[in-house]
Structure 1
Amino acid sequence: MIKDDVLILTANFGSGHVSVANAINEQLKIYDNDLNIKVVDVVEICSPHLTDEVYKAYEILVKNTQDIYNYFYKKKANKQTMMDKIIYKMYLSKMAKYIQETNPKIIISTFPMCSGFVSMYKEKYKSEIPFITCITDIVDNFEWIYPNTDKYMVATQSVKSKLVAKGIDCNTIQVTGIPVRKKFSDKSSIDIKKKYGIKNSEFVILMMGGGLGLLPEDDEIYTYLDNLENVKTVVITGKNKEKFNYLTKKMNLKNTIVKGFTDEIDELMNNADLLITKPGGVSTFEAIHSEIPMLINNPTLAQEIENANFIENSGIGMIARNSDEIKDMVEKFIISDKLKEELKKNIKEIKKQLDTDMLIDYIENIDQKSIV
């Protein structure tokens, strides 16, 4: 068994990267509770006094200037930007100091910039620390790809094929899916329906907008769902307090449960019949492990669009571009048992393709080499 540190580097640009880091931490602790694991935010290492400001700026960018966000995302699709190079040059020494102080036996990254730092650290300091990058969206974007990476954990076979086409050794790429907490695969003992007064006969729709609560703006959607017969809708607003207050105080919703940030997502997914959501990489695989079909609400961020294309092409969900399409697809889904069965069958097929034990196998192999 490995008894030294495992260092998981991440960042809170959206909740997905940190969620994946925590899921990996959980998986490793289940494997060996004695492992000394550190989950660390790269911004806290590089610029601890500016952490809040950095994340507030990111939130504004994602909410209000998505075109600018997508522009820079696409700029990174095939090459490193000048801004990336400046950041790496400014902060590599701080990262090197931190890595040397923690002296881990293995480093895992769940954020592109972390991968860049570790790659450059290994190159400059001639380090042979085993290094894994876990790509947290269903993408093959260049910003994730760096030399000195020993293993890539990717979401799908398609992403693996695209990385191979970019020159990455196929033996270094493993299709693991995007790691999620174990509770999304386990059926909860909590009777969440009883807790919220949901009848077993009711069709349950769960609507989410990620950690930032990026939900539909059109009031008509909420009114439509609220008026559906024998249907209960649960809306999760996340950190979006403005949306929570609007839905609970301004709209007269009688058949809709509105919740803010909650740790009950797994129970709600495991008891819902349809998930209406933004297609984050983590939420997509939480839904896959919960075996709940998805209705994707108008993806706009570049990586969301790629995630949504995977969902649609794999036959595990549908994409709605506007309010009318959401209503049409909800109605179609409620009345068509054949559609529900087909989507669930496809979800099960996706799950079969995932090597969820890859990380444990990799660590055991490192441990055996260290003993020898």
Structure 2
Amino acid sequence: MTGGLDVKILILTGKFGMGHWSASQSLAQQFQDEEPGTEVKVLDFIDYAVPSASEAWYKGFSLLVTHGSGIYNTYYKMTENMESDAHPPFEWHFLDRLETLLEEERPDMVVATHPLCAQMVSRWKQETGVALLLITCITDLSVHGEWINSNTDCYLVGTPELREQLARKGVDPAIIVPTGIPVKAQFKTTPHQRDGQRRHLLIMGGGLGLLPRKERFYEELNALPGVETTIIAGRNEKLRERLEGKYEHIHVVGYTDRVYDYMAQADLMLSKPGGITMFESIFSELPLLAWEPFLQQEINNARFLLRAGIGAVAAKEIEDCLEAIRNLIYDREKLSAMAGNMRRLKSQLADNTLGAILETLRVMKGACA
């Protein structure tokens, strides 16, 4: 967008897992890069609406998905094909808080990266008749019915396949744009630094407690001929202290906001198949070996990973996981084919979508001025 009227964008999200928040931050940066000076605010709407209860809700959700994944998956599958415009619990309270928020912020456009936020803004538009632009950014690689709302002006989705799925659920294809799930710009721009001699394995998920506890796993990793392994432990200080300096060919990193640098150096990544992680991998053209998932969204993500030919799935058992690493880390032809499939997928994504949205917003605001 060039010149014209200033616009304000409000990105609403929730911290049920950090993927929604991460996508929101990346979107905010992309809008600002597209048009420097654009006012963009990211807000945890759940915390805004129920500040005294949000922390307990988030902890409860974390406990559910960690220890009650079977219950969560049953609910997810039972509601996957629910009718659009769902009515969540405490709807009227959320609507009241949204009314206050929109009066305070007066945005020209709202972007929702969590289903509840999309539902509430759509319902508010229906109740008030206000023509506020609503963009829904779907952060999964499957389309649950809770994302679909009749007053949505545009859907940003991860892939062309998702566009087709959403259209089959009755959404106008003209308002569905495959952009990829938003990630930091550096994942798209950091040049590869793979030396081609020694193999480099990157392992993510230490901060989530996903890594095996048995020493044999790390002993076997360390013994892989010609392989250097980097483990990102995140904020798991116990894991970092336990492994740091213990193995010659295993390097441990604590929390870092430069994951893109480590991806640029790796030949293969072992991680959970979350939507954000998968698109960080895709934009880095780094084949992904996914930990066998247990949450339904990630099971769906892993199925996409296999269909698209951009990675593989490693079983949870230590020996099976090590065997999956051995089978892939040395297979240059297969890794090259996976990276090529990632490039093809990237070529199918819409370019400059956010710029077009900003231009539309400027025209709309000018017409109302």
Instruction: Pick one of 211, 222, 227 that aligns with 2:218.
Output: 222
Aligned length, in residue pairs = 362
Give, in whole Å, the separation in 2 of the partners of 1:266 and 1:285: 11
1:167 aligns with 2:161: no
Amino acid at match of 1:310: F
Contact 2:199 2:330 in 1 (8 A): no
Equivalent residue number for residue 301 of structure 1: 295
Equivalent residue number for residue 281 of structure 2: 287
Kindly report which structure 2 residues correspond to 1:306-321, keeping only aligned pairs within 5 A, or say none. 306-321=300-315
Q: Percent identity?
A: 32
Q: Which runs of 4+ in 1 moved over 6 A?
A: none
Give, in whole Å, the separation in 2 of the partners of 1:241 and 1:58: 23
Contact 2:160 2:349 in 1 (8 A): no
1:345 aligns with 2:335: no
Give, in whole Å, the separation in 2 of the partners of 1:219 and 1:162: 43
Give, in whole Å, the separation in 2 of the partners of 1:210 and 1:368: 47
Equivalent residue number for residue 15 of structure 1: 18
Instruction: Pick one of 264, 268, 273 that aligns with 2:262.
Output: 268
Equivalent residue number for residue 113 of structure 1: 116
Q: Could you say what secondary structure the match of 1:163 adopts?
A: helix
Amino acid at match of 1:222: Y
* Structure 1 residue 210, shift from structure 2 partner: 7.8
Contact 1:2 1:35 in 2 (8 A): no
1:139 aligns with 2:142: yes
Q: For structure 2, which runs of at least 5 residues remain unmatched after alignment? A: none
Kindly report which structure 2 residues correspond to 1:244-255, keeping only aligned pairs within 5 A, or say none. 244-248=240-244, 252-255=246-249
* Structure 1 residue 328, shift from structure 2 partner: 2.3
Instruction: Pick one of 6, 11, 21 that aligns with 2:9.
Output: 6
Kindly report which structure 2 residues correspond to 1:43-192, keeping only aligned pairs within 5 A, or say none. 43-79=46-82, 85-187=88-190
Q: Could you say if the C-alpha distance between residues 36 and 211 of structure 1 is closer, same or farther in structure 2, counting changes exceeding 3 Å?
A: farther
* Structure 1 residue 156, shift from structure 2 partner: 1.1
* Structure 1 residue 289, shift from structure 2 partner: 0.5
* Structure 1 residue 73, shift from structure 2 partner: 2.2
Give, in whole Å, the separation in 2 of the partners of 1:271 and 1:230: 15
Amino acid at match of 1:28: F
Contact 1:210 1:278 in 2 (8 A): no
Contact 1:210 1:280 in 2 (8 A): no
TM-score with structure 2 setting the length: 0.91
Kindly report which structure 2 residues correspond to 1:325-364, keeping only aligned pairs within 5 A, or say none. 325-364=320-359
Q: Could you say what secondary structure the match of 2:229 adopts?
A: strand
Q: Could you say what secondary structure the match of 1:263 adopts?
A: coil
* Structure 1 residue 113, shift from structure 2 partner: 0.7
Q: Aligned Cα RMSD in Å?
A: 2.3
Contact 1:213 1:236 in 2 (8 A): no
Q: Could you say if the C-alpha distance between residues 367 and 86 of structure 1 is closer, same or farther in structure 2, counting changes exceeding 3 Å?
A: same
Amino acid at match of 1:269: M
Q: Could you say what secondary structure the match of 2:189 adopts?
A: coil
Equivalent residue number for residue 196 of structure 1: none
Amino acid at match of 2:19: G
TM-score with structure 1 setting the length: 0.90
* CA deviation map 1:91-136 (0-9, x unaligned): 2101111012211111101111111111111111112101000000
Contact 1:115 1:146 in 2 (8 A): yes
Contact 1:320 1:329 in 2 (8 A): yes
Contact 2:206 2:239 in 1 (8 A): no
Q: For structure 1, which runs of at least 5 residues remain unmatched after alignment? A: 194-198
* CA deviation map 1:303-347 (0-9, x unaligned): 001111111110000112233332222222233221121111111
* Structure 1 residue 80, shift from structure 2 partner: 7.0
Q: Which 10-residue stretch deviates more, 240-249 or 300-309? A: 240-249
Give, in whole Å, the separation in 2 of the partners of 1:242 and 1:183: 29
Give, in whole Å, the separation in 1 of the partners of 2:313 and 2:52: 41
Amino acid at match of 1:107: V
Equivalent residue number for residue 208 of structure 1: 204
Give, in whole Å, the separation in 2 of the partners of 1:167 and 1:308: 25
Instruction: Pick one of 359, 362, 366 that aligns with 2:361.
Output: 366
* Structure 1 residue 370, shift from structure 2 partner: 2.8
